Structure 1
Amino acid sequence: MFRKFKQWFDHEPPVELAFPPQTMRVGEQTYQLRRMTNDDIDAALAMEKAIYHDTPWDRIAFISELRKTQRSLYLVLFDDDVMVAFIGCWFGKDEAHVTNIAVAPAYQGQGIGERLMQLMIDKAYDLGPSEITLEVRTDNTVAKHLYHKLGFQDGEIRHGYYVSTHADAMDMRKPLD
C-alpha cells in the first residue's frame, strides 16, 4: 500500500522500459522487431495453439502483461506482415524472468528463439538483476537444450505446473554476474 502512495506523490512519472522498433537479422533473413501491442494478441494466441495444441495463456493474461510497461517487455518479430515469434520478460530488482517465448513452426530451427533469448539476457544485464529465470516443460528437450546452451542451469521440478495439461515444469536460472 505504501508503494502505491509513494508513486502518487513521486514527482517523476513511471518510466516505460525503452525498446524502439528495429530490424533483426537471423542468418540471411531480416525481420522487424517491436514491442507487442493488444493488436498482436490474436496472432500470439494462434501461434501458441499451433505450437502447444492448447493455449497456455489466454487473452486476459496477455492484456494484463502488456499493461506492465515499467517492469515487463513483450516483443514480436515479423517477417513482412506475418508474426513469426514473440517473447516476454519481467524485470525486477534482483531477478529477470522470461514469461513466454514462441516461434512459429515454419520458422523453428533457424536461430530465432536463441536470438530473442539472448536479447532478453542482454537487457537483463543492462537493467542489473543478478539472475534470469524461466520455466520449461520437462519434456521439451529442444528448449532445454537451447537454455543450457545459453548458460541456464536446471532447477526444481514443479509437478503439474501447466494447468491445462498438468505437465511438469522445470525451473531454470542463469546467473548474471
Structure 2
Amino acid sequence: MEIKIEQPDLELCDFTNPQHCAALCDLINEYITHPMGGGEPLSDSQKLRLLDGLESHPKAITLFVLNDRAIAGVLNAFVNFSTFKCKPMINVHDVFVSDEYRGKGLGRKLIQGIIEIGKSLSCGKITLEVRVDNSTAQNLYKSEGFEEGNDPMYFWTRPL
C-alpha cells in the first residue's frame, strides 16, 4: 500500500524518524489525557507498543498536520474492506490537534488529507466514530461530507 500526500502541510509518519515517534507519542498522550479522551497517559512500554504496533500494521495510516513545520496534530486510520461496497474502506480511529494549535483549521486539513488518501486508494467510504458530546468534531465532520448512516448505529465495545 503506497500512499503519497500532495499537501505540503501534511506528512505521513516516518517511524524511523525519532522526532516523528516522539511527536506521535506526545500527541496520543495529550489526546488520552484530554477531557474527550478521559484516560491515563501511556507508560514507556505502552509507547513502544504503540509505535511498533502502528509501524508493523500492514494497513495503518498515521498522518501528521504541520503548523510552521511543527507537528501539530495526528490522524490514525486503518484500511479495511467493505463487503457492501466491494471496495477498500478507511476507518478513522484518532483525530487530534494539540490545544496550542486549535482554531487554525488543522483538523480540517487532516480530514481532507484522509479523504485524498481514500480516493487515491479507490476506497468506497471512510468511517469514523464521534462522541455524542463532541459538537466541535461533529460540525467539522459534517462540513466535510460525513453524516450519520441511513440507520443510526451504536458503537459498542467489549474490553478483553
Q: Which entry has the higher C-alpha Rg, 1 or 2?
A: 1
Q: For residue 52 of structure 2, give the secondary structure of its aligned residue in structure 1.
A: helix
CA contact (8 A) 1:77 1:86 kept: yes
Aligned mates of 2:98, 2:158 — CA distance in 1: 20
Q: For residue 67 of structure 1, report the CA deviation from its aligned partner.
A: 1.6
Q: Is the counterpart of residue 67 in structure 1 residue 45 in structure 2?
A: no
Which amino acid in structure 2 is aligned with residue 150 of structure 1? E
Q: Which protein is richer in strand relative to its size?
A: 1
Query: Equivalences for 1:1-177 in 2 at 5 Å?
Result: 16-19=1-4, 23-24=8-9, 33-37=11-15, 38-48=21-31, 49-50=33-34, 52-55=37-40, 59=47, 60-68=49-57, 70-79=58-67, 82-93=70-81, 94=87, 95-154=89-148, 155-158=152-155, 161=157
- Give TM-score, length-normalised by structure 1: 0.64
TM-superposition CA deviations, 1:139-171 (whole Å, max 9, x none): 100001111111111131225x597xxxxxxxx
Q: For residue 89 of structure 1, report the CA deviation from its aligned partner.
A: 1.5
Aligned residues: 139
Moved over 6 A (4+): none
CA contact (8 A) 2:29 2:41 kept: no
- Give TM-score, length-normalised by structure 2: 0.70
Q: For residue 153 of structure 1, give the secondary structure of its aligned residue in structure 2.
A: coil
Change (3 A) 1:134 1:62: farther
CA contact (8 A) 1:19 1:35 kept: no
TM-superposition CA deviations, 1:121-149 (whole Å, max 9, x none): 11101101211000111110000111111
Which amino acid in structure 2 is aligned with residue 110 of structure 1? K
